[in-house]
Structure 1
Amino acid sequence: MASILGNYGTFDQRTNYVLVDEIGENCNLFLARPLIGPLVFENTASDARDHCANERNFLSWLRLSSYLAIVSVAIMTTFHFTSEPTELEKRIAFPLGLVFWLLAILSLACGVGNYLKTVKQYSRKVALVQSGWKTQLLGAVVAGTVICCCVLFLVNNALNDHE
């Protein structure tokens, strides 16, 4: 009635899934039929742990992208309910918001790209390390942008307090 795959998962016979080991090298893993079926890997060694780590990594990128998008909206709307925004705030809010929006899109693209690349490497049983210059560069750009904005906001508040 139910077939057992590995030690951890059971799938009903009516469940449409993709056995990754049966897909050829030249076939695209994510376009295999059925399109919305789960990808099923043979659980040898630390495969289950590695897949969970890959999913957590993707979710971290998604969370970073969401935070950057929220900061973008907050900067563009400038949150001045009690006082009128200064000329500097009016001039810099939209471009700075666009920078954060672009960083949010780049973070999401980097997360999806890392996830898809890692799953393809898992399907080929390739040993991998989650590191690369693109990820480190994007992290450095996001950190630098956040630090620069904090300095900008502190200077702006200091100028407003002296007026």
Structure 2
Amino acid sequence: MTSILCNYGTFDNRTNYVLVEEVASDTYLFLARPLSGPLVFENNASDARDHCANERNFLSWLRLSSYLAVVSVAIMTTFHFSSKPSELEKKLAFPLGFLFWVLAMLSLACGIGNYLKTVTKYSKKKALVQTGWKTQLLGGVVAGTVICCCIIFIVDNALHG
């Protein structure tokens, strides 16, 4: 009985898994049969380290998306500094909350897309660099939005605080 060692344990012949090296090059990797089976890569050189780094990168995007979604809900439900919200706070609550929700969904989509693209390139043994204009643009928009909101909060607090 042969077994394959991978990040998720030891798989024997009775376990349904997808051995990436056996997937046809024209088949989309994540649609290979069995659909629910884990993808098993042969561990050559630094492959295991690279896959773990890719998973950590995805989890960082997921964490950012979760934080932005929490901020969105917090702004939409309780956006005021004093016991009574000002007119500016009433006007900004929904648009700012919606903006943070859109940023949360964009960061989740960017993380999933980056993860799938990277795993596909790993399966084809292609060299890759983990950066791009989409990632930089989304990071800049998120940072700019947070800074602008902080300025709005400080000015509103100074005027009505």
TM-score (norm 1): 0.93
For the 8 Å contact 2:79–2:89, the answer to whether it is kept is: no
Tell whether 2:76 aligns with 1:62. no
For the 8 Å contact 2:7–2:48, the answer to whether it is kept is: no
**Displacement after TM superposition at 1:126 (Å):** 0.3
**Displacement after TM superposition at 1:122 (Å):** 0.2
Distance 1:7 1:89 in 2: 49
**Displacement after TM superposition at 1:2 (Å):** 5.2
Distance 1:8 1:33 in 2: 18
Aligned to 2:19: 19
For the 8 Å contact 1:103–1:142, the answer to whether it is kept is: yes
Query: Are residues 81 and 88 of structure 1, via their aligned partners in 2, closer, same or farther at CA, if it must alter by over 3 Å?
Result: closer
Distance 1:106 1:6 in 2: 32
Query: Are residues 34 and 119 of structure 1, via their aligned partners in 2, closer, same or farther at CA, if it must alter by over 3 Å?
Result: same
SS in 1 for 2:126: coil
Aligned to 1:124: 124
Query: Are residues 116 and 50 of structure 1, via their aligned partners in 2, closer, same or farther at CA, if it must alter by over 3 Å?
Result: same
Distance 1:26 1:40 in 2: 18
TM-score (norm 2): 0.94
RMSD: 1.8
Aligned to 2:153: 153
Runs of 4+ that moved beyond 2 A: 4-9, 78-82
**Displacement after TM superposition at 1:8 (Å):** 8.9
Gaps of 5+ in 1: none
Aligned to 2:76: 76
**Displacement after TM superposition at 1:5 (Å):** 3.7
For the 8 Å contact 1:58–1:112, the answer to whether it is kept is: yes
Aligned to 1:95: 95
Q: What amino acid is the match of 2:135?
A: T
Distance 1:143 1:96 in 2: 14
Map residues 101-140 of structure 1 onto 2, 5 A cutoff: 101-140=101-140
For the 8 Å contact 1:18–1:33, the answer to whether it is kept is: yes
Q: What amino acid is the match of 1:106?
A: L
Q: What amino acid is the match of 1:123?
A: S
**Displacement after TM superposition at 1:80 (Å):** 4.7
Q: Deviations over 1:110-162 (max 9, x none)?
A: 0000000000000000011101000000000000000000000011110112x
Query: Are residues 42 and 132 of structure 1, via their aligned partners in 2, closer, same or farther at CA, if it must alter by over 3 Å?
Result: same
Distance 1:75 1:40 in 2: 43
Q: What amino acid is the match of 2:57?
A: N
